[in-house]
Amino acid sequence: MTTTVDPTLAAELEEYRTLCRSWLTEVRIPDVPLSLTERFRVLREWQGVLFDAGWIGIAWSREAGGQGLSHLHQLVFSEELARARAPQPIGLIGLDVVGPSIDRFGTVRQRTELLPRLLSGEDIWCQGFSEPDAGSDLSSLRTHAEIDGDDFVVSGQKVWTSWAHLASWCAMLVRTNAQAPKSRGISYLLVDMSSPGIVTRPLTQMTGDQEFCEVFLDRVRVPRENLVGELDGGWAIARHTLGTERAAYTLRRRVEYEVALQDAINELSACPTRDADPRRAYRVRSAVGRSHVSLRVLEAQTRKTIGRLAADTGPVPEDSVDKLLLNDIEQQVYGSIADLLGPLRVAPSGRPLGLDAARWAHDHLYSRAASIYGGTSQIQRNIIAERLLGLPRD
């Protein structure tokens, strides 16, 4: 973490970093299986280990079950987690994305009943925002809810919903007022995924994983007490959710890219034949050099993000600049490493130039989604154009 913070806080963060590093040397860090089912189980158990040790919800309020520390403390722990080659917990959508919005806008009952189970990993959450015809334009979503007695009755379809088939709860946007302007007739509901009328269908990605899902809702009854904020007032909460996701995600992923590049360099350095062919040696140096420069650019950009976290400004349009840059750099870093695999990228057991072909091919394919998930690159450009540059709406 490179930024200017108050000297007292800087000293406190370094002490906290030492504490994190010490704990990570003592705990058993799990191996993460390639099998998605096994991966989910292992990472859920890992979340329980982190929760019991007090490393979950670091920046959350104590009232919500967190540790009551700052976002910078959370960033320090994420950095140390990555440097220890330890995995992230499975419940990141709850922890980094929807949970902070429930904590800020939810009722006392929603916070006290739902958030402790979210933090411990007992409940896994998904995020029901994207739809088949509204993936990049959330205000056009069609999933609708009608009030019937003490319930909302929800029908429609969501898509690209990570872990929906294994999640216990979903933070979902639904249209509750068809007569209002598009973004003003939307509400934010908390939906129990075991409710009758919900069907989930995993989608097979080009990595072979089935992390993303389609979710079909047929007259699903959701108690009115599960409404977050005001009726028809979900758009502002959705913007908070997405802004929180972009800031936290950008900082965490930057550290992970740094670690990934260092892993690739270590593998390449251990290969005795890497410099045998001058043209191949040039390709290696170019790939590593381009990735290194890209990461320095991202590091410079995220200094401002860290400053915003220190000032606790909350989500702002500048988060879209981070997300847009992150998209490009994730694809550039993993694409550069994957290019070194040559045709052996389709041979998972191969180790061309010492590189673990299975890992780098998988990570390269996953990186292609970077310009879609969390808001497409086109949406980020629109936000930057309209809210930062003051250009007319698209």
The architecture CATH gives domain 125-231 = Beta Barrel (2.40)
Where does the pLDDT of residue 3 fall: very low under 50, low under 70, confident under 90, or very high at 90 and above?
low
236-389 placed in CATH 3.30.70.980: no
Per-residue pLDDT tens digits for 254-306: 888 999 999 999 999 988 776 778 888 899 999 999 999 999 999 888 888 87
Catalytic residue check, 230: no
Q: What's 235-294 look like in SS3?
A: HHHHHHHHHHHHHHHHHHHHHHHHHHHHHHHHHHHCCCCCCCCHHHHHHHHHHHHHHHHH
How are beta strands 186-192 and 227-228 bridged, if at all? antiparallel
State residue 127's pLDDT score: 94
- Residue 223: closest CA among 148, 273, 168: 148
Phi, psi of 378 (to 5 degrees): -65, -40
Q: Choosing from 79, 245, 256, 258, which is the catalytic residue?
A: 245
- Residue 57: closest CA among 117, 139, 107: 117
Where does the pLDDT of residue 246 fall: very low under 50, low under 70, confident under 90, or very high at 90 and above?
low
The architecture CATH gives domain 7-120 = Orthogonal Bundle (1.10)
Q: 7-120 and 236-389: same fold?
A: no
First to last CA, the chain: 36
Tokens describing residue 113: 């009943």
Give me the residue spans of the domains in the chain.
Answer: 7-120, 125-231, 236-389
Residue pointed to by tokens 């290696």: 284
Is the entire prediction scored with pTM above 0.75? Answer: yes
State residue 252's pLDDT score: 79
State residue 19's pLDDT score: 97
CA distance 140 to 130: 10
State residue 1's pLDDT score: 57
